[in-house]
């Protein structure tokens, strides 16, 4: 399906009787095309490979549900497409195994993975002879900027980090601290460093940069103490929803009253619930404003709500967008090489906004700033 179109066909006011001959002709044309072109009757086989179990599975599960729904919608429109979802376990080695196995089954267009370090583990195996990887969520420094068979729907995290750093400086903060997730360094470390570099380039100073890990034997308390001891005016936290929420709360309870900045990985509804008052006013950068959806996104959201009895998260929109884009590009030829050419050649309307890929396969999209107010992320001027 083309994201240029609404995922749910607009209601026609024309009489069904009037459109019947056209539908018949269209069906006849499709049948004729199917007979003439073997590719027309071919099924586009997609795979969804993300973290579907465990404590970090919220994003992967939301994306999977959205991807399955997107495929369902395409099939309702008569497109021959299927998708199979697999759990990569949040493990880079397993992700490569899962993706290779899926490619062996003829599913050579893989949507995955959730976190950059997992994506990095699989992208080494991606190639013209194996599979093409389209990641809806990964944009860490470790996975962008390379001419390979990995494409990212999100622009590189560096642009996001720099946008946040610019904003911090615009707000007049001169002393900052950075805390980032030790379990996903492929994403968080580059993010933190890019923020720090930009912040300092703009005349600010990063007084502390700490890694944190929660769960197992890791506790945040001592890391929070380190950040607090650096007396920052603003703090960037690069981590998951829960880590960002807890870190923020702990830092607030230690007396920090400054501005928080967060990464897009935490930009989910759970942040407000877990973060309490501490995360209110936190600033983020993202490419999509769910409060101003395009018609296609609006229609998808309605369908998602109807099916799952809840609003789609940003992860859900991205999961669906990945399906729609691959379905459009792979309609004629679903070989990794052909799809790579198609992705690099075209500009796409996208479900959540216009999209094109640069020569490295990274999305060229514009980050906008948002602030958490209540449970909503509201766009900042």
Partner 1 sequence: MSKTRSLRVYLFGAFLSAVLLPYLVLGVVGFSAVKTIAGRQGEEKLDIIVHSLAGRAMAFLEENATALRAAGQSLDSGAVEAAKLPVFLGRLLENYPVFETIMVLDGKGLVEAISPEDPDFVGIDFSRQEFYRGTRERFEVAFSDTFLSLRTGHSVVSLTARAGSRSVVGILDLEKLSSFLVGVTLGKEGSASIVDSVGTVIADRDRELVLQRSIFRFPGLLEKAATGELVSGVYAAEGKPHRATALRMPFTGWTVALYQPLAEANALSTAMLTGFIGAMTLAIAVFVAILLLARRRILLPLERLSAEAARISAGDYSGQGGPEAAVSDMDFTEIEALKRAFAETRMAVGAREAAMLAAEDRLRESLTQKDVLLREIHHRVKNNLQIISSILSLQADALRGDPAEASFLECQGRVQAMAAVHERLYQSEDLSRVSVREYFETLLDAAFMQGAELAPGARRELAVDDSTLDLDRAVPCGLIVAEALSNSMKHAFPNGREGTISVRFARVGGRFELSVRDDGAGPGSGFTERRPSSLGLHLIDALSRQLRAEARVGAAEGGGFEVSLAFAATVGE
Contact footprint for partner 1 (CB under 8 A): 52-58, 61, 65, 68, 85, 87, 214-215, 219-221, 242, 246, 249-250, 253, 272-278, 307-310, 375
Q: Which is nearer to partner 1, 70 or 339 (CB)?
A: 70
Q: Which among 89, 59, 111, 54 has a CA at the least distance from the CA of 266?
A: 59
Q: Chain-centre distance of CA 89, in angstroms?
A: 18
Task: Give the DSSP letter string of 75-114.
Answer: HHTT--EEEEEEE-TT-HHHHHHHHHHHHHTT--EEE--S
Q: Which is nearer to partner 1, 161 or 251 (CB)?
A: 251
Question: Residue with structure tokens 């026609």?
Answer: 12
In degrees, to the nearest 5, what angle opens at C-alpha 112 toward C-alphas 122 and 136? 130
Q: Which is nearer to partner 1, 87 or 362 (CB)?
A: 87
> Nearest approach, Cβ of 55 to partner 1 (angstroms)?
4
> Nearest approach, Cβ of 285 to partner 1 (angstroms)?
23
DSSP-based three-state secondary structure for 381 = coil
Q: Which is nearer to partner 1, 85 or 153 (CB)?
A: 85
Q: Which is nearer to partner 1, 211 or 250 (CB)?
A: 250
DSSP-based three-state secondary structure for 231 = coil
> Nearest approach, Cβ of 47 to partner 1 (angstroms)?
15
> Nearest approach, Cβ of 65 to partner 1 (angstroms)?
6
Cα-only R_g, the chain: 22
Per the omega criterion (within 30 degrees of 0), is the bond before 291 cis?
A: no
Task: Give the DSSP letter string of 279-291.
Answer: GTT-EEEES--TT
Write the CB contacts of 132 (distance below 8 Å, at least 6 apart in sequence).
108, 109, 110, 126, 149, 150, 151, 336, 339, 340
> Nearest approach, Cβ of 267 to partner 1 (angstroms)?
16
DSSP-based three-state secondary structure for 43 = coil
Q: How far apart are CA 142 and CA 190, in angstroms?
A: 8
Q: Which among 85, 91, 144, 133 has a CA at the least distance from the CA of 108?
A: 133
Q: Which is nearer to partner 1, 43 or 170 (CB)?
A: 43
Q: Which is nearer to partner 1, 58 or 233 (CB)?
A: 58
> Nearest approach, Cβ of 89 to partner 1 (angstroms)?
10
> Nearest approach, Cβ of 215 to partner 1 (angstroms)?
7
Q: How far apart are CA 90 and CA 51, in angstroms?
A: 5
Q: Which is nearer to partner 1, 177 or 220 (CB)?
A: 220
> Nearest approach, Cβ of 85 to partner 1 (angstroms)?
8
Q: Which is nearer to partner 1, 242 or 267 (CB)?
A: 242
Q: Are 373 and 281 in contact (CB under 8 A)?
A: yes
> Nearest approach, Cβ of 162 to partner 1 (angstroms)?
30
């Amino acid at each position: 399906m083309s994201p240029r179109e609404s995922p749910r066909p607009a209601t026609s006011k024309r009489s069904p009787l009037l459109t019947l001959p056209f539908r018949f002709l269209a069906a006849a044309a499709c049948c004729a095309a199917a007979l003439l072109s073997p590719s027309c009757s071919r099924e586009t086989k997609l795979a969804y490979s993300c973290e579907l179990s465990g404590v970090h599975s919220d994003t992967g599960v939301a994306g999977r549900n959205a991807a399955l729904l997107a495929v369902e919608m395409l099939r309702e429109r008569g497109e021959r497409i299927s998708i199979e979802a697999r759990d990569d376990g949040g493990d880079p080695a397993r992700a490569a195994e899962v993706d290779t196995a899926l490619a062996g089954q003829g599913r050579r267009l893989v949507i995955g993975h959730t976190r950059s370090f997992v994506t990095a583990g699989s992208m080494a195996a991606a190639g013209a002879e194996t599979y093409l990887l389209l990641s809806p969520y990964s944009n860490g420094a470790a996975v962008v900027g390379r001419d390979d068979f990995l494409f990212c729907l999100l622009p590189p995290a560096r642009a996001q980090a720099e946008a946040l750093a610019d904003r911090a400086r615009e707000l007049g903060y001169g002393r900052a601290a950075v805390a980032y997730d030790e379990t996903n360094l492929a994403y968080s470390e580059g993010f933190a460093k890019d923020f720090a570099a930009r912040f300092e380039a703009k005349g600010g100073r990063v007084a502390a940069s700490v890694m944190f890990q929660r769960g197992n034997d890791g506790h945040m308390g001592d890391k929070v103490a380190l950040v607090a001891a650096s007396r920052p005016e603003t703090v960037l936290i690069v981590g998951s929803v829960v880590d960002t929420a807890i870190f923020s709360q702990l830092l607030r309870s230690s007396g920090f009253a400054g501005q928080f900045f967060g990464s897009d990985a935490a930009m989910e509804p759970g942040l407000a619930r877990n973060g309490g008052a501490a995360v209110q006013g936190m600033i983020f950068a993202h490419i999509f404003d769910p409060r101003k959806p395009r018609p296609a996104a609006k229609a998808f959201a309605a369908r998602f709500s109807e099916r799952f009895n809840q609003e789609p998260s940003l992860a859900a929109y991205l999961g669906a967008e990945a399906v729609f884009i691959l379905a459009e590009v792979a309609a004629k030829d679903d070989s990794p090489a052909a799809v790579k050419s198609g992705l690099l050649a075209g500009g796409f309307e996208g479900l959540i906004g216009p999209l094109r890929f640069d020569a490295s396969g990274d999305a060229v999209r514009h980050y906008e700033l948002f602030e958490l107010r209540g449970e909503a992320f509201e766009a900042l001027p």
